[in-house]
Chains A and B, each alone.
Chain A
Amino acid sequence: MHPALQGLLSIVLGVGGCVAYFYFSNQFLDKVLFPGRGPNAGRNITRANMIRPWLFLLPAIAALSIYLAYPVVETLRLSLTERLPGNQSQFVGLANYQQMVSEPKFWEAMRNNMLWLLVVPAFSTALGLLAAQLSDRVRWGNIAKSLIFMPMAISFVGAAVIWKLVYDTRPVDQDQIGVLNALYLFFGGSEPNTWLTLPVWNNFFLMIVLIWIQTGFAMVILSAALRGIPEETVEAAIVDGANPFQVFFKIKVPQIMGTVVVVWTTITIVVLKVFDIVFAMTNGQWETQVLANYMYDKLFRANDWGVGSASAMIIMLLVSPILVWNVYNARKEMR
């Protein structure tokens, strides 16, 4: 069958299946299990209404258990076992973790992740806030906003390919097609650099890609928050004698602090999971390894499911507290 037809069929089956599930399960509940007539009509309707929420929740609960809860438990189990020949496995306690922390590559990944954690959310949020504030004041602001938001629509791998071209290096005697090298030479650089192999700096070149993507996200959310600020508080500040900078930093930003935290933590979670960009651009070479790529290396290249799962658990441990804080703040914002 043609793949497009297959896709169409799966959409029809999927959506139709959902509709059919909700329709027939409710019909069954109301007509067969607890019919709303006869001597116990009132009691039956009450009971049916107590069960109904669970009918609607069931597909989500099932999907989450299969695709979220089970993998977590299984990863935890794998991180404590060692694979033996013949599809056997053996409980080894924390041996995988011990092996992992003795590897310099793991600590390099940890260090880089912390570096990403400090730089990317800070820059994305700050630039997003700046873009949100500035684009609100000009007539072509909406065009600027769509342009800044556009990278959000590009996959991480696609973005990585684009930026690989920006950082591209050609031999000295050829024209440079990488924008960065072209600029570097134009402003008096002696010879083209292979940017992605410059240790420490190359980390920042990778981070720029993610900042480029996440700034649009931060801008959209913060722009909405800025518009939610009561105009009268801004006018009151102007009457009180605040200049535009003071209005922004002392009146506007404090009022959207909750949203800033939500944006910051959301980007932090993205950063902790960053994989595609590093995988596609340097694959962790030249001291650019990050935890997610380290995990992929161990799991699928070295076929070491023990250490791979152990690093996955580490990522989860790092993400969880931030996630909890993020959800807590997001809920507070909604109130």
Chain B
Amino acid sequence: MTNLKLTGVEKTYAGNINVLNDINLDIKTGELIVFVGPSGCGKSTLLRMIAGLETITGGELTIDGERMNDMPPAQRGIAMVFQSYALYPHMTVRDNMSFALKLAKKNPAEIDAAIEKVAKTLQLTDYLDRLPKALSGGQRQRVAIGRSIVRDPKVYLFDEPLSNLDAALRVATRIEIAQLKESMPDSTMIYVTHDQVEAMTLATRIVVLANKGVAQVGSPLELYERPENEFVAQFIGSPAMNLLSGTVVDTGDFTTVRVENGGGVIRSSVPSSAELKGTSVNIGIRPEDMQPTTDDNFAFENRVEIAEALGEVTQVYFKPQSPGSTPVIAKLQGIHRDVRTQTMRMSADPSKVHLFADGRSLLYR
């Protein structure tokens, strides 16, 4: 059983440049945790701090209860897969995979057996005596993964492992990683990516990092359905969730909000208390939850400026509600040829309407 725990972890570089602050996480056996966040949010830094390649300047990292802050990387029981694979170019696949075991002075027969086994799972048996330069990108990636598996670590660390692969190979390798995880149910993995699809498909829990801290931790669908704040709401999902400003007009089990510049009102299944009446909130509706409506019960009425027909869906961009604001986007099922320049009335199911006050979701108040 593995338990990796981060308590109040901080990273401050020389010259008082603070990049991570008060990170608290509790990771258990068998989890695949994905760190996502905008570029520069420190997700790779956090991974490297767990690996021991960056110092931890505050707080504590423990693995199985043992403090790891000052432990050298090799003794933390972790293995890392790098973005550029980081294969040793002068060593064959076999030597690449056995390097760590040889350094650990394991017995040669054991090493051979371990490599044969891993090579077989990863379909690398025929390539064991090749140099990395004679392998394709996908094969190199598999060698890098194999190199970490042979060490049988407590925790696997993946630093954007798919970002150097082309689109088709990325999908295939993503599925391979998912299968690999399934075949090793007791392995614990931490995976850094900026790709939402990877995060949504692979993770048991996603950690969204932003503004030097953790914005929300939760399962992929939790993050999608019940985002804690505007940042997570807009970060998860593509295109991003629409945010419209409005004023609360009725409270209770359902909250009714008048949409600014929209002409209508919308009901949300988020409950609210009476003192919220009259306060301004942000209404969040995902593009895929936007529904065209013909009755008078609409949230807003606006002209369509651009319609992108993608086949399965048509993405509709409305005229910005106020000059300079981001246009509202709606995803309409199927092909809609003639919506451009039309004026449409839009609404959404109350259960799909999120409400935010001061950036925080009303659900979590």
Contacts and interface: CB of A to CB of B under 8 A. Distances in A.
A242 B98 CA distance: 12
Interface string A126-164: 000000000000000000000000000000000000000
A241 B100 contact: yes
Contacts of A232: 82-86
B87 A240 contact: no
B86 A254 contact: no
B78 interface: yes
Contact of A238 (B74, B79, B83, B147): B74
Looking at B72, B74, B88, the one whose CB has the most chain A CB atoms below 10 A away is B88
Interface residues of B, number: 26
Contacts of B266: none
A240 B90 contact: no
B103 A246 contact: yes
Contact of B89 (A233, A235, A240, A241): A233
B206 interface: no
B98 to A, nearest CB: 10
A255 B90 contact: yes
Interface of A is mostly: helix
Interface string A77-105: 00000000000000000000000000000
Contacts of A251: 88
Nearest to A246: B103
B53 interface: yes
Interface residues of A, number: 17
A232 to B, nearest CB: 4
B80 interface: yes
A185 to B, nearest CB: 48
A238 B86 contact: no
A238 B73 contact: yes
A246 B99 CA distance: 11
Contacts of B83: 232
Contacts of A261: none
B141 to A, nearest CB: 14
Contacts of B99: 237, 240, 242, 250
B329 interface: no
Given A235-B53, A236-B80, A241 B86 contact: no
B104 interface: yes
Interface string B57-90: 0000000000000001111001110111111111
A64 to B, nearest CB: 36
B86 A240 contact: no
Contacts of A230: 84, 86
Contact of B88 (A237, A238, A257): A237
B265 interface: no
A239 interface: yes
A240 B74 contact: yes
B88 A241 contact: no
A235 B84 CA distance: 12
A235 B87 CA distance: 11
A237 B89 CA distance: 12
B208 interface: no
Contact of A254 (B82, B84, B90): B90
A235 B100 contact: no
Given A233-B88, A233-B89, A236-B88, A241 B82 contact: no
B51 interface: yes
A149 to B, nearest CB: 28
Interface in A261-278: none
B86 A233 contact: yes
A248 to B, nearest CB: 13
Nearest to A232: B86
Contacts of B73: 238-239, 241
Nearest to A257: B90
What 3 A-B pairs are tightest by C-beta distance, nearest first? A241-B74, A232-B86, A240-B100
Interface of B: 51-53, 72-75, 78-80, 82-91, 99-100, 103-104, 147, 151
6 contacts: A236-B86, A236-B87, A241-B74, A254-B90, A255-B88, A255-B89
Given A238-B73, A241-B100, 5 more contacts: A232-B82, A232-B85, A238-B53, A239-B78, A240-B99
